[in-house]
Chains A and B, each alone.
Chain A
Amino acid sequence: MSVTEPMARADDAAPVPAAVRFYVAHERAILGTLMVILFLVAWEGLERGWWACLLHPLLGASAERWQLKPIFISSPTLVAAAAYRMFFVTGEIWRDLAWSGMSYVLGLALAIAVGIPLGLAAGWYRRFSYAVEPLLAALNATPQVAFLPLLVIWVGTGVGTRVLIIFLLAVLPLAINAHAAVRTTDPRLIRVAASFSAGDWRLFLTIILPSTIPFLLAGLRLAIGRGMIGVVVGEIYGSAAGVGAMISQAGSRFQTDKVFVGVLTIVAIGVTLVEIMRRIERRVDVWRPPS
């Protein structure tokens, strides 16, 4: 009840045992770890038949339902073994990672190069914004992955399609945030600078750009996430290499452990990228007054 009880209660009674104090200090980590361990044990038990054995005296023969085949759900130990194999023994995943990484970086770079200038221009020139706003809104409401079959017709099944789908997904949050950012610039600051006859370029450099940076970073964080959708979807739709392709091929061969390795690799990359962006945003955000 953090909201209704904003003040800590743990320290009103004088002597608290050390174990309790330790628990209270690290409650978040302890509870979180506990749940993750429980989840992993439950999962492992489903595959190894621990629960089937435990429930057998109670349920009789129908307890067998509590054991599942490894091709159906795999298990934490099987996934760990597969991960070890793929990363360190055969090293097959590195090639996929390099392949996916290349299209990701290219697509994201293209999205930044197009999206941010487009958004800034739309925010600055009113008439230009009237012209592009309907198009941006329509594209933004569309699930852009629906363009995949069109992209395949236009540029084939090669790396071009994947770069373009990543671009399409990532460019909209960048452009929309850049647009909103210029719009929310304090008009008083601009008027003051303009009264001191600052040129457009100077206005842009000293007022618009600094005040838009938090928005641009927020847009970039969204774009990073969208781009990952693009990588995965572009690859599972039709590609020979890449982590998404690996996941899709392993899935159709019922190599469930390999699928999990791929998914977890993407989770790790996603968590890392988002965390890096958060840190950068927090650094830049320091100036903002607390709301």
Chain B
Amino acid sequence: MTIPAHGEHYGDRRRPALARLYLAHERLAIGAGTLVGLLLAWEAFGRSGLVDPLFLPAPSQIAQAGWGLSHDADFWNDLAVSGREFILGYAAAVAVAIPLGLAVGLSRRLQYMLGPFVDTLNAVPRVTLLPLIVIWFGIGIWSKVMVVFLGAVIPILINTQAGVKTSEARFIRVARSFSASKLKVFSSIILPGTVPFIFTGLKYGAGRALLGVVVGELYASTAGLGHMIAEAGNTFQTDVVFFGVLIFMATGLVVVAFLDVFERRFERWRPDLH
């Protein structure tokens, strides 16, 4: 029972080296240990014969399925299709949402005009629109691009707008008293202050975009990772389903880590609050 506060473990010199090493890397040790322990328990459980591998395949069986898939041209095609849907939809969302969010944040009237639509779309899980989108765009790649776009565009837009709104009013007043032009105020005060918000939006948006890919492909598709998972689920290839879920998990982690790195680059100027 400790207070989660400042680092409490300065290696005590009287302790053996091994204990000191553990204390210095306790977080990593416990995290990795839990993960390895869980995987080993899962493997043992899977091999014990207590559970049908159709129901719960062991990690080694999942790895084997993954190895098998990596020699399968269909799998690479599914990966390419899903990737294309994600990138096209997300890129379109970024291209629309950031300029629109800045504009809506800057112009009160525009905000009043678009507010009802944005709020409505924000209140509903956009995947609800999937049946309509399939009627409009068919079951090919474009319906998924549209779902990804709709999923990602709203959080990016709302965060960008909120970022503009929270610009420090004092800074703006100072800049204007020194007769800075509107463009100057925008580029040197509003935009830098909005960047962290934009990144928050981009992160949320990436999650929603990935969700869109999965749901869109589960619902109606002819190719893609979600399609592969659904198909494998219907034919009880549980190991393949697991492998597909792992790929989605890895993608999510990589995208978030990537955005984190970018964010840190842009964020150096922010004072540390912790």
Contact = CB atoms under 8 A, between A and B. Distances in A.
A131 B34 contact: yes
B252 A143 contact: yes
- Please classify how large the interface on chain B is, using the bins under 10, 10 to 19, 20 to 34, 35 or more: 35 or more
- Chain A interface bracket (under 10, 10 to 19, 20 to 34, 35 or more): 35 or more
A247 B131 contact: yes
Contact of A142 (B213, B226, B230, B249): B249
A125 B4 CA distance: 7
B135 A132 contact: no
B123 A145 contact: no
Interface SS of chain B: helix, strand, loop or mixed? helix
Interface string A24-40: 00011001101110010
A2 B249 CA distance: 41
Given A35-B117, A123-B4, A232 B127 contact: yes
A51 interface: no
Contact of A4 (B114, B117, B172, B242): B172
Contacts of B96: none
A146 B213 CA distance: 10
A149 B128 contact: no
Interface string B172-191: 11001000001001000010
A259 B136 CA distance: 13
Contact of A125 (B1, B125, B169, B210): B1
Interface string A10-34: 0000000000000000011001101
The 5 A-B residue pairs with the shortest CB-CB distance in the complex, in nearest-first order: A251-B131, A149-B233, A141-B252, A130-B30, A270-B123
Interface of A: 1-4, 6, 27-28, 31-32, 34-36, 39, 71-73, 123-127, 129-135, 137-139, 141-143, 145-150, 152-154, 182-183, 187, 190-191, 194, 200, 225, 228-229, 232-233, 236-237, 244, 247-248, 250-252, 254, 256, 259-260, 262-263, 266-267, 270-271, 274
